[in-house]
Amino acid sequence: MPNNPPLVSVSMICYNAEAFIAGSIEGVLHQKIDFPVELVIGDDCSQDSTRKICEEYIQEYPQIIRLLPLEPNMGIGANTARTMGSCRGKYIAVCDGDDVWADPFKLKRQVDFLEKNPEYGVVYTDVETISETGEVLADPEQEAIREMYAKGAVFTKLLGANFINNSTAVFRRDLIASLFISPDRSYQIPDYIRWLHIAARAKVHFIDHKSTLYRKHAAGLSVAVPQDKILGNRRALRRSLYHTLLLFHKNNTPLSDRLERILLFRRILSLVIRGPGSWKERLRMLLLASKYFPGISGLISLGRQKAAKLIHLNHLILASGLQELPA
């Protein structure tokens, strides 16, 4: 491996991906670029032949590919932190070990944009959803996400929902240098935390092009999330939001858009009520909430939203035949 750092590091995490990992690696190797790149693979102690396949590629491309040392199974959050922490490039691109970069010019388009536009922190693209065997799928969930795509100052939009597909993104490594990612295995949403953290300090760009094949399959991370992971995701997001909301306030002028102020106020208030932890942190969030107070009309709007949500939930309970919320 050359001593000079590459311009771009590709972070690829994988676990039991023997059927897909070769395609993911090939998509990186086939990029048409005029700058140095490295591929950093974090195999999370796969029980199949994933690691063997990666080692075979290293034999052929030792100047490009690095396979991180074998460790006990870490979980997605910790493995992501380990892999990205090993990246050396000015930019980090992401390709999960079951997705494929289908466009050979994907990386060059995104890096060229970031090089010319220093106020932008991340560039993402559209995706094509494929099945386990590679067939293109109709994907209503992705269609709904596609309606949310946005660019520019999108922090408050991201607070509403994550619309950045992980394997399409390229971002500036220095923007996550101070990002806290839990070293434990209790959650699996490091990508959403990452985008919020970056969007708090920089603009986001979208290229309207399906550069990546996003694979949905039975073992995929987004198909079935265990209940303990759901709870861990919520805790991790609250911990991160505490720091990210303070970061956003520090780096941005007051919001003029009424709906954005309402959304931000609601998110800050939720941290006052539910955490992230000590009373000092909650007090700090309460003081921050006062900076985004949406006025009486905004509070009325929040109340209506809450009432509508409760009514909808009640209808779901009645439709399911339940007499009360499940424990």
Question: Same domain, yes or no, for 307 and 189?
Answer: no
**Closest alpha carbon to 31 in 124, 96, 107, 97:** 107
What is the SS3 assignment for 229?
Answer: helix
**Closest alpha carbon to 104 in 30, 6, 198, 22:** 30
Task: Say what the pLDDT of residue 201 is.
Answer: 94
Position 250 in a domain: no
Report the pLDDT averaged over residues 155-182: 88
Other beta carbons within 10 Å of 296: 8
Query: Per-residue pLDDT tens for 272-296?
Result: 988 777 889 999 999 999 898 887 7
Question: At residue 138, what are phi and psi to the nearest 5 degrees?
Answer: -75, 130
Question: Same domain, yes or no, for 167 and 18?
Answer: yes
Position 33 in a domain: yes
Task: Say what the pLDDT of residue 295 is.
Answer: 76
Question: Same domain, yes or no, for 223 and 320?
Answer: no
**Closest alpha carbon to 161 in 129, 128, 199:** 199
What is the SS3 assignment for 14?
Answer: strand
Question: Same domain, yes or no, for 39 and 160?
Answer: yes
**Closest alpha carbon to 100 in 148, 52, 31, 160:** 31
Greater pLDDT, 251 or 186? 251
Q: How far is CA 261 from the centre of its chain?
A: 23
Position 255 in a domain: no
Task: Say what the pLDDT of residue 298 is.
Answer: 63
Question: Same domain, yes or no, for 216 and 313?
Answer: no
Report the pLDDT averaged over residues 173-197: 75
Question: Same domain, yes or no, for 197 and 307?
Answer: no
Position 160 in a domain: yes
Position 1 in a domain: no
Question: In this structure, what token pair is assigned to residue 227?
Answer: 């209940």
Query: Per-residue pLDDT tens for 251-267?
Result: 998 888 888 888 899 89
Residue 153 has pLDDT above 70, yes or no: yes
Greater pLDDT, 190 or 108? 108
Q: Which of 211, 228, 245 is the last residue of a domain?
A: 228
Task: Say what the pLDDT of residue 256 is.
Answer: 81
Report the pLDDT averaged over residues 105-115: 98
Report the pLDDT averaged over residues 133-149: 94
Given a contact cutoff of 8 angstroms between Cβ atoms, the answer to whether 54 and 21 are in contact is yes
The domain containing residue 16 runs over which residues? 8-228
| Confidence (pTM) | 0.86
What is the SS3 assignment for 67?
Answer: strand
Q: Give Cβ neighbours of residue 171 (< 8 Å, ≥ 6 apart).
A: 91, 92, 121, 122, 123, 194, 198
Could you tell me the CA-to-CA distances from 136 to 21, 128, 130, 219, 239 in Å, in that order? 18, 7, 4, 18, 37
Q: Which helix (H) or strand (E) holds 11?
A: strand 8-14
Q: Which helix (H) or strand (E) holds 5?
A: none
Query: Per-residue pLDDT tens for 20-34?
Result: 999 999 999 999 999
d(CA 84, CA 193): 14
Greater pLDDT, 300 or 240? 240
Alpha helices in the chain (DSSP H): 21-29, 50-60, 76-85, 106-116, 140-146, 155-160, 190-199, 227-251, 258-274, 279-291, 295-320
Q: Give Cβ neighbours of residue 208 (< 8 Å, ≥ 6 apart).
A: 125, 126, 149
Residue 322 has pLDDT above 50, yes or no: no
Q: Which of 228, 246, 273 is the last residue of a domain?
A: 228
Question: Same domain, yes or no, for 46 and 194?
Answer: yes
Position 268 in a domain: no
Question: Same domain, yes or no, for 220 and 310?
Answer: no
Question: Same domain, yes or no, for 76 and 207?
Answer: yes
**Closest alpha carbon to 125 in 167, 156, 84:** 167
Q: How many domains does the structure of the chain reveal?
A: 2
- Which 3-state string (H, E, C) describes 95-117? CCCCCEECCCCHHHHHHHHHHHC
Task: Say what the pLDDT of residue 317 is.
Answer: 43
Position 263 in a domain: no
Q: Which of 196, 228, 260 is the last residue of a domain?
A: 228
Task: Say what the pLDDT of residue 262 is.
Answer: 87
Question: Same domain, yes or no, for 46 and 160?
Answer: yes
Task: Say what the pLDDT of residue 137 is.
Answer: 94
Question: Same domain, yes or no, for 65 and 191?
Answer: yes
Question: Same domain, yes or no, for 216 and 104?
Answer: yes
Position 55 in a domain: yes
Q: Report the CATH number at residue 209.
A: 3.90.550.10
